[in-house]
Structure formats: structure tokens, C-alpha cells
């Protein structure tokens, strides 16, 4: 059952997402003493709008939408995969690259088809970017993380989610889907953004 959060409590936060993979990643990254709730802990149904043209705009739009309805300390994120050869696509449309109801596999399949003519690491450069928007005691803050890498020609690994099976980070021989959660979190875009968020929260208890 949902228990309303206290506005002045920093140690308990609402993550404005239904994505259980993201919630688990964030819970794994936050230091002990922080409690993260998701939208499944609220009496909330429906869709959160994501109509901004960039990641920061989407993150702010989502957190404001939830905060207007549940005035608690909360945060939202938006993550995009930016591929140089595709002029930054799929970018802000990463989650729905292959359509509104696309699965992770659908998105990966479309990406690999779009990348078919590009060969070698130099032509397959890409990056993940995550922007987190936090509303804390009615003030807004932004935190960004980035991970550089290349797009593999075929998926591998069974971990992670989204484009992880085809994203090989710079300096590593394993892609995100082949890494353990701890390995991925140590170098990932979301990990970097969350560490910035946690550092800020610790400084502003």
C-alpha cells in the first residue's frame, strides 16, 4: 500500500517510472539508507507524456507530471542511444525506435538493419546518455551521465536490457549484456548520472 512521502525527507524518493529494470539499477546504485519507490507503489495508472525534443526536456516533463499529482521528492530519467552514423538516432526515440509497442528485440533488430552498411569501429561509434531530473523540496535539478562505445554487428549476452546486447563500451571486451550488474553500473551512463544524484543528495540531507 502506498504511504505518502514526507516532503522534507531526502532519504526516500519516488522514481517516476514503471520500468522495473531501471528501478533495480537505481536501487543497486544508491547507497544504504536511501529508499526508492516506483510508480507501481502509487495509485497511478496511465501514461506519462514524453513529447519533448531532447532527453533533458523529457526527463523534466515526466518528473513535473508526477510531481503535480503527487507533491513529493521525486526524479525521472530519460535515456537515449546516439549513433554517429545515424546522425544521433535513435536518440530521444530510443525506447520506441521500432514503433510505440516495440520490444527490446524489435528496437535492436531495426538498429542493426540501419547499421548494416557501416563497418569497423570508426563507423559504428555511439554513446548512451542519461539525463535525470530531480524535484527536491520543490526545486528542480538535472544530472547527466554518458558512456561511449560502438554498436556490435550482432547481439550477445543475456543480461541487461534495451540495446545492451549490441553496445560495447570503449576499453572493454564485454558488452553491457555480458557484464554483471555491478560491472555495468560502474561504467554506465545511468550509473554516472545516479552517482551525481547521490552525491548531491548526500550533500543536501
Judge whether 43 lies within some domain.
yes
Catalytic residues: 78
pLDDT attached to residue 45: 81
Judge whether 6 lies within some domain.
no
Judge whether 104 lies within some domain.
yes
In which residue are the cell numbers 546518455 written? 129
Judge whether 76 lies within some domain.
yes
Judge whether 4 lies within some domain.
no
Q: How many domains does the chain have?
A: 1
Judge whether 7 lies within some domain.
no
pTM, two decimal places: 0.87
Question: Digits of tens for pLDDT over the chain (205 positions)?
Answer: 444 444 444 578 999 998 888 888 888 887 777 889 999 998 888 889 999 999 999 999 999 999 999 988 999 999 999 999 999 999 999 999 999 889 999 999 999 999 999 999 999 999 999 999 999 989 999 999 999 999 999 999 999 899 999 999 999 999 999 999 989 989 999 999 999 998 898 887 6
Judge whether 78 lies within some domain.
yes
**Beta pairing partners, 134:** 75, 141
How many angstroms separate the CA atoms of 201 and 134, rounded?
10
Distances (CA, A) of 49 to 58, 65, 66, 127, 197: 8, 8, 10, 24, 23
In which residue are the cell numbers 539525463 written? 131
Q: What is the CATH number of the domain that holds 39?
A: 3.90.950.10
Judge whether 1 lies within some domain.
no
Task: Calculate helix-pair angle for 20-29, 189-203, nearest 10 degrees.
Answer: 50
The residue range of the domain holding 113 is 12-203
Amino acid at each position: 500500500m502506498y504511504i505518502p512521502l514526507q516532503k522534507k525527507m531526502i532519504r526516500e524518493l519516488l522514481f517516476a517510472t514503471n520500468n522495473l529494470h531501471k528501478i533495480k539499477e537505481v536501487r543497486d546504485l544508491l547507497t544504504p539508507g536511501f529508499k526508492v519507490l516506483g510508480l507501481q507503489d502509487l495509485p497511478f495508472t496511465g501514461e506519462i507524456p514524453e513529447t519533448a525534443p531532447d532527453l533533458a526536456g523529457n526527463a523534466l516533463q515526466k518528473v513535473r507530471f508526477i510531481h503535480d499529482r503527487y507533491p513529493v521528492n521525486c526524479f525521472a530519467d530519460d535515456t537515449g542511444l546516439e549513433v554517429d552514423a545515424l546522425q544521433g538516432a535513435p536518440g530521444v526515440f530510443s525506447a520506441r525506435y521500432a514503433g510505440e509497442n516495440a520490444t527490446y528485440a524489435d528496437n535492436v533488430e531495426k538498429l542493426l538493419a540501419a547499421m548494416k552498411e557501416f563497418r569497423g569501429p570508426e563507423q559504428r561509434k555511439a554513446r548512451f546518455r542519461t539525463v535525470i531530473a530531480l524535484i527536491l523540496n520543490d526545486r528542480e535539478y538535472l544530472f547527466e551521465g554518458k558512456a561511449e562505445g560502438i554498436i556490435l554487428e550482432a547481439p550477445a549476452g543475456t543480461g541487461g536490457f534495451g540495446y545492451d546486447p549490441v553496445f560495447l563500451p570503449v576499453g572493454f571486451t564485454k558488452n553491457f549484456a555480458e557484464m554483471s550488474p555491478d560491472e555495468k553500473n560502474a561504467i554506465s551512463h545511468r550509473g554516472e548520472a545516479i552517482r551525481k544524484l547521490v552525491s548531491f543528495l548526500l550533500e543536501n540531507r
